[in-house]
Structure formats: C-alpha cells, structure tokens
Amino acid sequence: MKKRLLWPLLGLLLVCIIAAICWLSGRTQRQLRFSNTSVEIAENDIDIVLGGDSARITIYMFASYTCRHCHEFLVSDLPQIQQRYIDSGMVRFVIKPIELAENPDMMSALQLAGCMNRDGNADDIRELLLTEPTAVYSDEFRQLIDDIILTNPELAECLVADNFSNIKENNRLFNAIGSKGTPIFVVGGHLYKGRRTYANFYKVIDYELNK
C-alpha cells in the first residue's frame, strides 16, 4: 500500500516544485516589468557600441535622439552603468539609433555618427545629438555634411555607401518588436520598455547577469 502511494506523492511533489518555480519566475518578471521577444537583435555598423566582445551580456537600446527619455537615460544613467558594468567587462552596451520618420537630415547625422564611431572619433557628433539634436536640421549642418563629402573620401564613402540601410534595419527591428515609444532595451530575449533610472536599471542588469 505504501509503495503504491509513493509514486503519486512524488509526482504531486514534482508538480508543486514546478509550480513554485514558475510562480517565482513570474514574480520576478512582474517586478522587473519585462516581456519576452523572439525578435533576434544584432549590432550593425551604424550602432554605437560600448564594451568588449567578451562581456557576459549584451544590452541593446533602441533610441531616438529627439526622445526626452532617451536623452535623460544617455546623459544621467548610462555613465553610471558604464562605470559599474561596462568598464569592468561585464556588459556590452549597444545603442541602436532609429529615425522612424526617415528625415534625411537626421538620417545623415546618425550615419555620420556611426561612420565616425568606427574610428573612435564620434564624441563630437554624439555630443551634438545629445545636447542639440535640432541642429542637424540647420543649413550649417548640411554644409558640414557637404564639406565632409568633398574633403574626406573615407567618411564620404561611408556616408553615401548604403542608402542608410543600417538605420532602416534598426527601424525594422524596432517595429518588429512592437513597441510604440523609446527607449526600449533588449537583453537575452527579454524586452524592457521605457526609461529606467540607474537605481532601477541596475536591478535589471544584475538579474540578467545572474539568471
């Protein structure tokens, strides 16, 4: 009799353990406010990449430089994340710029930032995009682009080479994910929407590092 009861009891115990694990996992998901995504994300030549290839996790951030919440995160929170996680080699952070309206001035500015980033010289254009993004719509900036095309063959080739295909690919991935606003972050198949302050975002990073 006892032996006949043993297997059903063990089965019940196993079901309880699985249910507890699922409940705990669901609670973490609710606390950190993420959803799952099957969209595969990879970096491309236009992205701004911080951190090395050997990092334990990669965080992809879809961002618009005209988005106030993106600006706040990049200016206030990312430097702290870089100091704690990126510079220590734990995290690779990839900023994927998007321009859903495909405005030619902004597209040119994003392309220029990506081209200059390849040589490690993107600080000035990134600073402009962060502090005064509307400047890219000015005649002065358009003249700058024209001067670069005339005087810098390498940058000129990068600027006009692919008809903004990498930015358009970022737009496509953003739309495929199904988000309506920026910023959004993708980490290992998990989708985190909206700006997180550093005090909140480090919990996300610690969870992704230790899961």
Q: So what's the pLDDT on residue 180?
A: 84
Q: Measured on CA atoms in the order 168, 172, 173, 174, is the torsion positive or negative?
A: positive
Same domain (yes/no): 21, 78: no
10-residue stretch averages of pLDDT, the chain, 211 residues long: 56 55 53 84 90 95 93 93 96 96 93 83 85 92 90 87 91 92 93 87 91 79
| Cα(207)–Cα(99) distance, integer angstroms | 30
| Cα(54)–Cα(88) distance, integer angstroms | 11
Encode pLDDT of 70-116 as tens digits.
Answer: 999 999 999 999 999 999 999 999 999 999 999 999 999 999 888 88
Reported pTM: 0.82
Count, residues in the chain: 211
Q: What is the CATH number of the domain that holds 96?
A: 3.40.30.10
Count of CB atoms within 10 A of residue 66's CB? 16
- The verdict on whether omega for the bond into residue 183 sits within 30 degrees of 0, i.e. cis, is yes
Same domain (yes/no): 127, 184: yes
Same domain (yes/no): 49, 21: no
Same domain (yes/no): 11, 94: no
The pair of structure tokens assigned to 206 is 């610690």
Same domain (yes/no): 22, 65: no
Q: Measured on CA atoms in the order 99, 120, 198, 190, is the torsion positive or negative?
A: positive
Q: How many domains does the chain divide into? A: 2
Show the domain range for 8.
2-32
Same domain (yes/no): 95, 28: no
What is the Cα gyration radius of the chain?
22
Q: So what's the pLDDT on residue 20?
A: 44
Same domain (yes/no): 24, 39: no
Same domain (yes/no): 28, 122: no
